[in-house]
Structure 1
């Protein structure tokens, strides 16, 4: 995978999307930045970050993804893969909140967004590695660059969706005490039923992880 590093960008996600559309960069490629000034979160919200946090986006050809991976659940797949790399200290209790957030205990430390451009999937990710006022952060001895390279290495032999989902299913109970933003509303997940494709059944309605 080609790796492009910057000292500063407005947004790795916007930059990579523009470069892919203009055919100036080709998948597979990853873009990491030390400082991001206009980070993008889910639902087009901003993502505040500081130098030292892990901030990157990557693009993969869809036909190189695991054959059993539902495109509607790529955010779950990519986020849980990162969760496994980050969860090196049991005391940190890193877990994944449906559909695209990474938490330590009860505080959000990161998130994932994905978008499709033709037959290419572009994923953006931000992980707090420095202390924040309103959010959590991961207390780790690993640098952003080390975590970044470990994450990309996972795609040399990516796990199947079934491998990832079987682990996430066991941990999904942690979502039962929280609310998730769905279709413009905060929805209680206490009665949500996780489906094999990563979607949820809530009040007899199927909801997908489209972020």
Structure 2
């Protein structure tokens, strides 16, 4: 994975999309910035942040994805690989369905995925050194370049979705105290059933990740 390191950018996702459109670089490729002024978060929220935190976007052609990965579950898949990378360095981080990184009851980051033509763009924001009010930062110290190097080693292995899902399913109970937004409404995860494709079954309704 080729990684471009920037000092500051409005959005790593926007930067990467323009780069691909204007210069057609070889994929996969990633962009990491020391600071970000107008990042893209879940449900059209912004994800700006404090210098030194992780602001990352990467693009993968479909041919580089595991052959059993459904695109609607890509956020879970790539978020869990990053969670595993952090856990190997001692972090207690877990994934709140479908794309948020949590410690205890506070969010420390998130991941969104976007389909563009025949490739996937993943964007990640993670509080590595400091957190805004109401959020939390990671519980370990880790160099950003080391984290990315270890993470992309996992990505490049193309571990099957079923192997990642089997581990995530064992931790899904940590979601019980939270809720998700469905059609702009808060829906409790206390009775949610995690299906094999990464979707949720809540009171008989199937809910898929849309980010």
Q: State the TM-score bracket (shorter-chain normalisation).
A: over 0.9
Find the residue that maps to 1:180 and give its secondary structure.
strand
Residue 131 of structure 1: how far off its partner (Å): 2.5
On the 8 A contact 1:21/1:117 being kept in 2, the answer is no
On the 8 A contact 2:75/2:111 being kept in 1, the answer is yes
Aligned-pair Cα RMSD in Å: 1.4
Task: Kindly report structure 1 stretches of 4+ aligned residues shifted beyond 4 Å.
Answer: none
CA deviation vs aligned residue, 1:88-142 (integer Å, no higher than 9, x gap): 465x421100011011111111100100110000000011012322201113221
Moved more, 132-141 or 29-38: 132-141
Distance 2:71 2:124 in 1: 17
Find the residue that maps to 2:176 and give its secondary structure.
helix
On the 8 A contact 2:54/2:128 being kept in 1, the answer is yes
Residue 23 of structure 1: how far off its partner (Å): 4.4
2:6 counterpart of 1:10: no
Find the residue that maps to 1:39 and give its secondary structure.
coil
Q: How many residues align?
A: 210
Where structure 1 has 5 or more consecutive residues not aligned to the other structure, the ranges are: none
Counterparts in 2 of 1:180-191, with a 5 A limit?
Answer: 180-191=180-191
Residue 172 (structure 1) aligns with: 172
Distance 2:51 2:150 in 1: 20
Residue 138 (structure 1) aligns with: 138
Moved more, 139-148 or 3-12: 139-148
Residue 154 (structure 1) aligns with: 154
2:75 counterpart of 1:75: yes
Distance 1:204 1:39 in 2: 35
On the 8 A contact 2:64/2:158 being kept in 1, the answer is no
2:90 counterpart of 1:127: no
- Give TM-score, length-normalised by structure 2: 0.94
Distance 2:26 2:118 in 1: 11
Distance 2:162 2:142 in 1: 29
On the 8 A contact 2:53/2:130 being kept in 1, the answer is no
- Give TM-score, length-normalised by structure 1: 0.94
Where structure 2 has 5 or more consecutive residues not aligned to the other structure, the ranges are: none
On the 8 A contact 2:81/2:155 being kept in 1, the answer is no
